[in-house]
Amino acid sequence: MGVITRKRLWGSLSLGIALSLALAGCGNNNNSSNNSSKSNTAANQGTTDQAAGTANTDSGSNATASDDLKPITISAFIGSPNQQPTADNRIYKKMQDELGVKLNMEFLVGDLQQKLGVMIAGGEYPDLITADPKLVTAKAVVPLEDLIDKYGPHLKEHYANYWNQMKDSSDGHIYWLPNYGAYTGDFLATNYSGPAFWIQKDVLKDAGFPTPKTLDDYFKLISDYAAKHPKTVDGQPTIGFTTLAYDWRTFPLTNAPEHLSGHANDGGVVVDNGVASVFATQDIAKTYYKKLNDIYNQGLMDKEAFVQNYDQYIAKVSTGRVLGMFDQHWNFQDGENELISQNKIGETYVGFPLTYDGVTDHYLDRPVLNLNNGFGISKDAKDPVRIIKFLDALMTEDWQKTLSWGEKGVDYEVDANGKFTRTQKERDEQNDPTWKLANKADAFYGYAPKMEGTFTDGNATSAGTQPDEFYASLKPQDKEILDAYKHKTWTEFFTPAPENPVAYPAWNIDLIDGSDASVANKQMTDATLKYLPQAIMAKTEKFDTVWDQYVNAYKKINVKAYEDRINSQIQWRTQNWSSN
Amino acid sequence: MTAPKSSFLKRMRSQKQLMLMSLPMLLYVFLFSYYPLWGWTQAFQNFKPALSFSQQEWVGLKQFRFLFRDDTFLLVLRNTIAMSFINLVLGFVTAIVFAILLNEIKTRLYKRAIQTISYLPHFLSWIIVTGLVANALSVDGGIINVVLMKLGFIHEPIMWLSKPHYFWGIVGASHVWKEIGWNTIIYLAAITSIDPSLYEAAEIDGANRYRKMLNITLPGIKSIVIILVIMNLGWIMDAGFEVQYFLGNGVVVDWSQTIDIFVLKYGIQIGNYSLATAAGIFKTVVSVALIFAANTTAKRFGEDRLI
């Protein structure tokens, strides 16, 4: 007996000791790895930038010859929800075969800001990381300019015209490779993915293809149609107008006034003569929300508009019940794609640039570099050189064609004039989400640097912007609409964009984490989400009372801190970017 | 004077296996419960993740001042305590009543079935439950509105989730629905430990069912209830996060936002970790104070206590 208990005791004891040792070991390991990574970044950021760069060069060039195709796995965090591509995905496999790079992608689940906040608090990052100013503040990413200079000739060329803009305003380093907005060749726009007042094609057809110019025109179309068709073909009640104010996607509710008043999309501010001001409580806003209040009281506005989350919104759009909304096209594209896949083309949307009387619309803008977007390389990346080389290799025209158009003869054809086209079967495949998971690298390509405009052979960089291919890919119902308005593309509904001011747009200005400006921004969003729905859903005679409460709530917020930050950045950009 | 010390050492030595065995646990507690307290220093800094400790900027009580001067935070505090209190009271009352009623059921199979069904929702995550709740409360064919309309109580669907004053009730009801069965388990266990002869004696004295419930079952589980109340008071500042986050929206924000959501919005999301820490410290201090208060009260009433 005694012996046995003793043995058991020692057994459990040694187990306990092992456990405590293991725990202690973990602690130590963590510390040391943290320390070493810290010292690495310190070296990179310190005054010896150049030295550190050359040190990298040496080890890099030694490795180049033999190691270039040595298989490597690069972890990447993609800042949007996506489905994992299939294991034998054709394009990712090609990357692995030809470039020796296997991508290990993690997609966003839940809220991006929260995820990044947690990542920063934990201090561990994947190799490639979705751009966010937060990460620069946290010193989680490495400066890229030396790496690009030495190892990224194609990237350097791609961004040549935008080099100054890419520099971070706080320290002049480049941390991000913007994914959209760097154009080469001709700029072709066929589809419109920006903001507009959207209306279902059936509504237009029913009314004989009118062109609504004002809010009154627009809502009259909707109310007439809703009166005639209280239910959809599937028997669900139609919804006249909806909006969305969920999480960071509050622009469907908040951005309309700036467009109605003829301003370009600057986010929460309107910029007049280079001076930004918050418009949320100005008259341009009040007029619009008063109108929505009328619409609500007429029963045309979605009752659940302010309660719904993004998924519910998309689900609602995809049933075809919603006759109209103000939104950016890309924001509800998923819902529309669902309609297209069910061939409910009449229930998809056309955007119109509504304005207040006597104002020229400025919905369509010239593409700008999408700052604070795309990929950066984290301080934890083991081989930044290899990663830059990988991204650089993808910047070659061949790879760009593969990523965008696909493979020649499989995903697209080349006609006698050297123009890329697709057969009907190939077009259908491009619209099939399941097929895309196995045959496209969209999740990665979306955040990677990419060519836009035209290739050197004159072909558009994507099928959607190849004019002939675009028109050919349209459904008969779409051709009917465009023909009725005597347009060739969806962008022709809008006034052509004037030249952008240098500092445009203000919405991508970094407010700096934890600053007064960012606190004010949060408080403004909170106030907007609290009072605007109340105002819109109020009885007509109560509207003004709620509006006054809203204005008072804004008075308590340090709006000036926010405006000052925006204005100082506009000035900074005007000075530093114009010397391009 | 040396005698007690040496006897302490002696006892230590005679129980050295025990001492050794508790060492890993001590380490564990130190590593995961005490070592992180170091992070509290963040609350008094303008914390920047990239800088080392010596490079941080010290700001004293600035973060706390921001918290308590902010109107939103006071609302948030009220919501947290109110919802927590509602959940606590509703949770206890319903669970105890349910346990006593279940105890009266004599058919074993039937009792088991009810118990199982009632605790199944506990295993659903809040995201699913809030989805169900939102669906049930929807204006667009949600079951609650449909039933109320069919019964003729209302003529038009009510927008439950955009009426600020309904929010606490909805949260409370969701909690009860989800947790009632689970909370009951411990009381049922306590009830089984009551001496059956007490019931027999009462029966001989002519007590009916309700008498027995009132005078035997309830006093029988009193000590368990008090211990649980004390333990749960420690969580009063945690009214929850998921329910309010998923069910809340701009319209009801004044009634739905809890401390945790506030911290997420004004701390983590805009990278103001110091503020988040300050709010965390405040929560902890209040919770500890509450526990001690409850414990002292229990002591005064001569009941079992936690500490």
ipTM: 0.77
Tell me how close the Cα of A303 comes to any Cα of chain B, in angstroms: 8
CA dihedral A431, A432, A436, A439 (to 10 degrees): -100
Crossing angle, helix A384-394 and helix A49-67, to 10 degrees?
Answer: 70
Residue with tokens 């506030």: B262
8 Å CB contact of B162 and A529: no
Pairing mode, strands A375-377 and A128-130: antiparallel
CA distance A80 to chain B (A): 16
* pLDDT higher than 90, residue A510: no
Grouping H, G, I as helix, E, B as strand and the rest as coil, residue B112 is helix
Distance from CA of B84 to the nearest CA of A (A): 23
Q: Which two tokens stand for residue B201?
A: 């004696």
Label the pairing between strands A195-200 and A322-328. Answer: antiparallel
Task: For residues A270 and A256, give the distance between their C-alpha atoms in angstroms, rounded to a whole number.
Answer: 11
Interchain CB contact of A134 with B (< 8 Å): yes
Using the beta-carbon criterion (under 8 Å), do B253 and A530 form an inter-chain contact? yes
How far apart (Å, rounded) are the C-alpha atoms in residues A387 and A151?
A: 10
End-to-end, the C-alpha distance of chain B in Å comes to 29
- Per-residue tens of pLDDT for chain B, all 307 residues: 455 667 888 888 888 899 899 999 999 999 998 998 888 988 898 888 777 888 888 888 888 988 888 888 889 989 999 999 999 999 999 999 999 999 888 899 999 999 999 999 999 999 899 989 988 998 877 899 999 999 988 888 888 888 889 999 999 999 999 999 999 999 999 999 899 999 999 999 998 988 999 899 999 998 888 888 888 888 888 878 889 988 888 888 889 999 889 888 888 888 888 888 998 899 888 888 888 888 888 888 766 666 6
Chain B residues touching residue A39 (CB < 8 angstroms): none
Residue B172 has, within 13 A of its CA and on its CB side, a CA count of 22
Q: How far is CA A160 from CA A166, A310, A570, B286, in A?
A: 10, 38, 22, 57
* Rg value, chain B, Cα: 25
- Provide φ and ψ at A107, rounded to 5°: -100, 155
Q: The domain A195-363+476-507 belongs to what CATH superfamily?
A: Periplasmic binding protein-like II (3.40.190.10)
Inter-chain CB proximity A307 and B249 less than 8 Å: yes
pLDDT band for position A69 (cuts 50, 70, 90): confident
Domain boundaries, chain A: 72-186+370-473, 195-363+476-507
Chain centre distance of CA B269: 25
User: pLDDT digits over A257-312, tens only?
Assistant: 999 999 999 989 999 988 999 999 999 999 999 999 999 999 999 988 888 888 88
Set of chain A residues whose Cβ sits within 8 Å of the Cβ of B266: 519, 522
Q: How far apart are CA A534 and CA A52, in angstroms?
A: 57
Q: Name which of B17, B134, B269 is nearest A117 (Cβ-Cβ).
A: B269
| Biggest CA pair distance of chain A | 99
Compute the distance between CA of residue A505 and CA of residue A181 in angstroms, rounded to an integer.
12
Tell whether A522 is within 8 A of chain B (Cβ): yes
Residue A512 structure tokens:
């700096």
Give Dmax over CA atoms of chain B in angstroms: 84
Closest by alpha carbon to A511, among B111, B4, B192, B272? B272
B contact test, residue of A13, A41, A304, A307 with most B CBs within 10 A:
A307
Write down the number of H helices and E strands in chain B: 16, 2
Query: The tokens 């418009």 sit on which residue?
Result: A279
* DSSP-derived pairing of the beta strands A101-107 and A72-78: parallel
Distance CA A185, CA B69 (A): 56
- C-beta of residue A141 within 8 angstroms of C-beta of residue A50: no
- In chain B, which residues have their Cβ closer than 8 Å to the Cβ of A16? 20-21, 23-24
The distance of B49 to chain A (nearest Cα, Å) reads 5
Q: How far is A246 from chain B (nearest CA, A)?
A: 8
A113 and B CB contact within 8 Å: yes
Cα angle at B130 between B128 and B132, to 5 degrees?
Answer: 70
CATH number of A72-186+370-473: 3.40.190.10
Look at A23 and B21 and tell me if their CB atoms are within 8 Å.
no
Alpha carbon distance A171, A174 (integer Å)? 9
Residue type, A148: I
Mean pLDDT of A345-359: 93
Residue A42 in contact with partner chain B when CB distance is under 8 A:
no
Per-residue pLDDT at B140: 77
Residue of B nearest to A248 (CA): B269
Three-state secondary-structure class, residue A352: strand
Give CA–CA dist A197/A212, Å, rounded.
10
Strands A322-328, A275-278: parallel, antiparallel or unpaired by DSSP? unpaired
CB within 8 A of A56, min separation 6: which ones? A146, A147, A384, A385
Whether A27 and B20 lie within 8 Å, measured CB to CB: no
Q: Are A120 and B271 within 8 A, CB to CB?
A: yes
Indicate yes or no: CB of A519 within 8 angstroms of CB of B272: yes
Q: Which residue of chain A comes nearest to B16, CA vs CA?
A: A13
Tell me the C-alpha distance between A231 and A238, whole Å: 5
Task: Output the six-digit token pair for A100.
Answer: 């020796």
Alpha helical stretches, state H, A177-328:
201-206, 215-228, 251-254, 256-260, 283-297, 310-318
Which residue blocks in A139-240 are alpha helix, DSSP H? Answer: 145-151, 153-159, 163-166, 201-206, 215-228
Distance of CA A335 to the CA centre of its chain: 16
Residues of B in CB contact (< 8 Å) with A are: 17, 20-21, 23-24, 27-28, 31, 46, 48-50, 52, 71-72, 134, 138-140, 159, 161-162, 249-251, 253-254, 264-266, 268-275
Task: Please check whether the two domains, A72-186+370-473 and A195-363+476-507, share a CATH topology.
Answer: yes
- Distances in whole angstroms, Cα of residue B221 to Cα of each of A44, A413, B78: 65, 79, 32
